[in-house]
Chain A
Amino acid sequence: MNDLPPSTHNNPPEPLPYDETVLADIRARAKQFSATAGDWLDAGKIPDEEQAQLAADFITGLRKLKKEAEAAQKAAKAPWAAKADIAYAAYKPSIEALQRGIDKVAKLQADYLREKQAELDRQKAAERAEAQRKTAEAEAALAAATARNDVMGQTEAEAALKAAEKETKVAAKDVRATVASATGGGRAMGLRQTRCAVVRNINALFLHYRDAPEVLACLETLANRDYRAAAWNGEEIPGTTFLMREGV
């Protein structure tokens, strides 16, 4: 009995989210064009004007078919994208309100945690000072007992020194301010520390990162944008050489 197929197993399959006939047409033509592209590549080189004219028509056809395929892809996606947009938009106001609430209340919580941390730091400093004082006192008592050959006094002073050292160790440990969940259903919260840079000297920063490929890509994008702008005055951008790249 356990080998029975699950319920709804014999339902018809879910309809495809695109028009199969349109896709089949594009696929068939893409296959033909790919095969022909192979023929061109097999030839290896375009030897004369006549072949170049044929190649021009082939490339035009490829581009046109690609455009058709992209348009069909967009058309197939459009109804789903519209539905996705509606679903996304339906949740958006609630999510935004919640995020605004998180941001604002978390700011209040952070203020409280900062004050709590300051209080804890003050306490820790006092504990450290107290532990140091006790250590010094115990050391002095031990030295005095040793000087007068007071065995009982030495034992007491050593015990006091040990206790003072233990207190020093505990006081040396940092304590982070946290707020526990009131009900037990939430998570404890603390001040989260994030490392971040504040730029003081952009030139020094550039020198530091100039070998990073992202920096080169960013600079190339900026320079290409200016060279391609209609308002370009023909002057080369410092550090670049203008190049008119040719392609079909």
Chain B
Amino acid sequence: MRSPTPIESALAWHSAALANPDLPRTESDPQPGWYKAQLVKGGPWLAVRIWIEAKTCPGTGELTEPEVLRATRAGEPVRPETVWLSCRPITAADYGALLRNIDALRCAERDAPLMAATRVAVDLARTPIGPRRR
């Protein structure tokens, strides 16, 4: 058996991509990290997270099963390969802010979550975005 992938090496590509947005990516090799993605042009950002699921032995810390790559997009589990190419890397803090925005921003006209309609462009001319109250 082998040890789980260290967090630094798991996030190495993500860290490099944050510094260089043009960093090449391999289509069949999704990389763990925090991302945002859109389903349509001008549509709301969706929070995407890709991570390595590792089951380890509590005694030895070694893997009991092969590591599996998992992903969620807008909270829904998805196959990492299906979202990977449309993902833009963001920091963990931005990921948190995006989640907060998704919860907090509401459409002024319909009093509905502004970013809920994921396949429709967000019309910012219909909803004034105010500063966040602390």
Question: Is A33 in the interface zone, CB < 8 Å from B?
Answer: yes
Choose from B97, B100, B101, B128 the contact partner of A33 (Cβ within 8 Å): B128
Q: A61 with B127: in contact, given A32-B108, A50-B132, A54-B132 (CB under 8 Å)?
A: yes
At the interface with chain B, which of A36-44, A203-211, A225-233? A36-44
Pairwise interchain contact A65-B125, C-beta atoms closer than 8 A: yes
Question: Is A104 in the interface zone, CB < 8 Å from B?
Answer: no
Question: Is A140 in the interface zone, CB < 8 Å from B?
Answer: no
Choose from A43, A49, A64, A68 the contact partner of B131 (Cβ within 8 Å): A43
Q: A40 with B125: in contact, given A49-B94, A50-B97 (CB under 8 Å)?
A: no
Contacts of A61 in B (CB 8 A): 124-129
Tell me, in angstroms, the Cα distance from A57 to B19 when the chains sit together. 24
Complex interface bits, B18-42 against A, C-beta within 8 A gives 1, otherwise 0: 0000000000000000000000000
Number of interface residues of B (CB under 8 A): 16
Contacts of B123 in A (CB 8 A): 64
Chain B nearest CB, measured from A189 CB (Å): 60
Question: Is A51 in the interface zone, CB < 8 Å from B?
Answer: yes
Question: Is B130 in the interface zone, CB < 8 Å from A?
Answer: yes
Contacts of A178 in B (CB 8 A): none
Pairwise interchain contact A51-B131, C-beta atoms closer than 8 A: yes
Pairwise interchain contact B124-A51, C-beta atoms closer than 8 A: no
Which range holds the interface residue count of chain A? 20 to 34
Question: Is A55 in the interface zone, CB < 8 Å from B?
Answer: yes
Closest to B109 in A: A29
Contacts of A46 in B (CB 8 A): 131
Contacts of A62 in B (CB 8 A): 128
Tell me, in angstroms, the Cα distance from A242 to B73 when the chains sit together. 47
Pairwise interchain contact B125-A54, C-beta atoms closer than 8 A: no
Question: Is A78 in the interface zone, CB < 8 Å from B?
Answer: no
Choose from B101, B128, B131 the contact partner of A35 (Cβ within 8 Å): B128
Pairwise interchain contact A29-B126, C-beta atoms closer than 8 A: yes
Tell me, in angstroms, the Cα distance from A15 to B22 when the chains sit together. 58
A-B pairs with beta carbons under 8 Å apart, 17 shown: A36-B129, A39-B130, A40-B131, A50-B93, A50-B97, A50-B100, A50-B132, A51-B131, A53-B97, A54-B129, A54-B130, A54-B131, A58-B124, A60-B124, A62-B128, A64-B123, A68-B125
Q: Please report A residues at the B interface, Cβ cutoff 8 Å.
A: 29, 32-33, 35-37, 39-40, 43, 46, 49-51, 53-55, 57-58, 60-62, 64-65, 67-68
